[in-house]
Amino acid sequence: MSDVSDPIFARIAARYDLINRILSLGQETRWRARGIDMLAAGTVLDLGCGTGATDFKGRVVVGLDPVIEMLALSPVRDRVVGAGESLPFREGSLDGVFSGFVFRNLSSIDDTLAEIDRVLKPGSTAVVVDLSRPRNGVLRFLHRIGSAVLLPLVGLLVAGAPREYWYLHRSLDSLPSPEALFSGHALTPEHIWRMGIFGFVYGVRLRKATS
């Protein structure tokens, strides 16, 4: 994760899940679940697990996050302090990787995707769910205005942290579309979908080669 993001998430850890529920109008759990349903059974890495609130539906979960304050709130038994750019797992040791609302905060997406490819078993799947701007130009403009107002306001009212959620607004413009972001890597993007108002939430299923 980015060094810049660590103190931000450390400060809002206690109210992180509440703010996400408010901002997503209660839909965040459903967005995550759609991606998790695409993972195989077995041992799954929750990359950037935060407080560990994601339901993996009976799978064995290892949670990884750089923010100790977040991990301290997690009910997941196996928790590791670490970053996506350097995963502390053996080659080919995991049946799946899930990452929810993390990729905008990575220092290197290229390095993280290479690491995910390294630790996955051949033929296994990784799923990324995150935020992006809408594809339509008009909707993208409206969404940019709305997030500039709404995100700091909710951060102020719920967590007393408007500057931290202004960072979230800016991060939405930091990356290209998922169609461009996940092309040209060892992991093959099999399916990309959009969710949420204006389609500002995306999911992507990535497959590791079988050999």
Q: Is the pLDDT of residue 63 over 90?
A: yes
Q: In this predicted model, what pLDDT tens digit does every residue of 98-119 receive, in sequence order?
A: 999 999 888 899 999 999 999 9
Query: Mean pLDDT over residues 180-195, rounded?
Result: 95
- Asked if 102 and 85 count as a contact pair (C-beta separation under 8 A), the reply is no
Instruction: Please give the Cα distance from 205 to 211 (Å, whole number).
Output: 18
Indicate whether 156 pLDDT > 50: yes
* Whole-number Cα distances in Å, 8 to 36, 78, 174, 204: 27, 24, 17, 26
Quick one: what percent of the chain has pLDDT higher than 90?
55
* Residues 154, 160, 166, 169, CA torsion sign: negative
Mean pLDDT of 74-80: 93
DSSP 86: B
Burial of 140 (0-12, 13-18, 19+ CB in 10 A): middle
Average pLDDT over residues 150-158: 70
Query: In this predicted model, which residue has the larger pLDDT, 137 or 47?
Result: 47
Average pLDDT, the chain: 87
In sequence order, what DSSP letters do the residues of 105-128 get, joined into one string? Answer: G-S-HHHHHHHHHHHEEEEEEEEE
User: For the residues 11-36, what does the mean pLDDT come to?
Assistant: 83
